[in-house]
Amino acid sequence: MATNWSLTGDYFESCNCEAACPCVFLSPPTTGECNVIVAWHVDSGSYGDVKLDGLNVALAVHSPGHMAQVKWKAAVYLDDKANDAQADALTQIFSGQAGGHPAVLASFVGEIVGMSKLPITYANDGKGRSLKLGTVGNVAIQPVEGQGGAQITVNNHPLCISPGHPATVHRSSELKLKDAGFDWAFSGKTGFQSPFAYQGG
């Protein structure tokens, strides 16, 4: 029988596209390819009897073209605070093997080019988000202000990491990654952030 699981927390992403990223509207990437880091911080979660509170997961993804039309290369990063049972649970979930929305995301991946367990520092200052992946990468985003300083949000876009939650539009102050054949360094590009809630089983 499938294992029941659920996760809630905070997610953000940033890529090399101009803000706001056209990929989420099923248009081609700004430069013809998309290089993106997607990060999740689990506030509360479990996989069967395995508690996953406070753990982090990240994906580095390269799409060589239109993200809905080509297969992606991905590197997976798991929090080194996870014990063996927790790491296995996170792998089951974020590889798509445990079903739920992560299985939809995993269906776009054609090749896993790396999997690492390393220190992941996820920070939320109430507006922006940042992530440090050991010594191999880091990314930070800040919200783009709308009219009257209000948040800019995108609802119900088709290439969605977090269904049911509007994505807040951000811009990166930095994105660097040198690992698994990826060598990225850029800033001033797009970002999105929202809560997330996944479940399966």
Is residue 168's pLDDT more than 90? yes
Convert the pLDDT of each residue in 58-98 to its tens digit: 999 999 999 999 999 999 999 999 999 999 999 999 999 99
- Say what percent of the chain tops pLDDT 70: 100
Convert the pLDDT of each residue in 114-163 to its tens digit: 999 999 999 999 899 999 999 999 999 999 999 999 999 999 988 999 99
The b/e string for 79-115 (b: 16+ C-beta within 10 A; e otherwise) is: beebeeebbebbbbbbbbebbbbbbebbebbeeebee
**DSSP letters of 102-123?**
HHHHHTTEEEEEEEEEE-EEEE
For residue 153, give its domain range.
5-200
- Say what percent of the chain tops pLDDT 90: 93
Total domains in the chain come to 1
Q: Quick one: DSSP state of residue 92? A: H
Q: pLDDT confidence of 19, banded at 50, 70, 90?
A: confident
Centre a 10 Å sphere on the Cβ of residue 167 and count the other Cβ atoms it contains: 24
Average pLDDT over the chain, rounded to an integer: 96
